[in-house]
Amino acid sequence: MDYIFIDKTIKTSIYKQIALSILDAIDSGRLTYNDKLPTEKEICEVFDVSQTAVKMAYQQLIDQNKIKRIKGKGTFVTNRHVYHQEVANVFSFEMDPDFLTKYQIQDIMFDCIDDEYMIQRMLKISREESFCVIHRIIKQNQIPLVYQHIYLPEKHYPKLKKNLPVNVGIFSLIQGVYHHKIDHIQNTFSPTLASTAEAQLLHILPGEAVYLIRSQIYDDKQCVIGYVVNYFPGEFSSFEVTVHAKP
């Protein structure tokens, strides 16, 4: 609580001093995302100020999307950019020509598997065929943007098992390294709650909302050449869904 400064001899109201102190701590990096703030009662007792002043300070910061209250848990720093896009263009950030300078790719798992029926079904391959699995985090300014599970049929990527390209987006891998032509992507969109492991990777709290977008990637021969499960942190992602009515 040493980042809160209150001077009762100046004209600036107490609630503004509290709010400005916390803002300064966030801007300077002393407080970072998900740091827990003291309770209103604790601030009142330490600084001998009214609870009304503390409530006003916290509410101002909540309105500015700098902090958030979680019932039964406390008040936390939430100063984080909200990423907005259309569901249909879920991979739009990879189309950015400056993708590798604006974003960071962290591969956290790679394997080849041949015994997971649900994934084989989504890839439209037989039970005997194997596929490659990549788990990765894509970050912007070191803050997680999306957690991805990438599944690629091994028959379409014969050298991937021995040589996984580093710092390559999924589109660059499919089209640039292996020269497949992407025809279209079929997305399904649903909200869910983050598990403990997912929350840790996305820098959110367990049980917080996550947007789950499953993407089947088709080539010009209508073969599924990739299946990606995207986990976007719900509070820091927003999506538009376009509905086309049939005539």
Kindly report which listed range (48-52, 101-105, 141-145, 206-210) carries the lowest average pLDDT score.
141-145
Start and end residues for every CATH 1.10.10.10 domain found in the chain: 14-77
How many other CB atoms are found less than 10 A from the CB of residue 196?
A: 10
| CA triple 218-152-233, angle to 5 deg | 85
In tens, the pLDDT along 197-221 reads: 999 999 888 888 898 999 999 999 9
Its pTM stands at 0.70
Instruction: Give yes or no for residue 125 having a pLDDT over 90.
Output: yes
How many other CB atoms are found less than 10 A from the CB of residue 41?
A: 10
CATH code 1.10.10.10 for 14-77:
yes
Longest Cα–Cα distance in the chain: 77
CATH superfamily placement of domain 83-240: Chorismate lyase-like (3.40.1410.10)
How many other CB atoms are found less than 10 A from the CB of residue 145?
A: 21
Contact 79, 66 (CB under 8 A): yes
In eight-state DSSP terms, residue 95 is G
Instruction: Give yes or no for residue 84 having a pLDDT over 70.
Output: no
What is the residue whose two structure tokens read 């990765």? 136
Start and end residues for every CATH 3.40.1410.10 domain found in the chain: 83-240
Closest by CA position to 75, among listed 61, 92, 88, 86? 61
List the structure tokens of 146.
């999306």
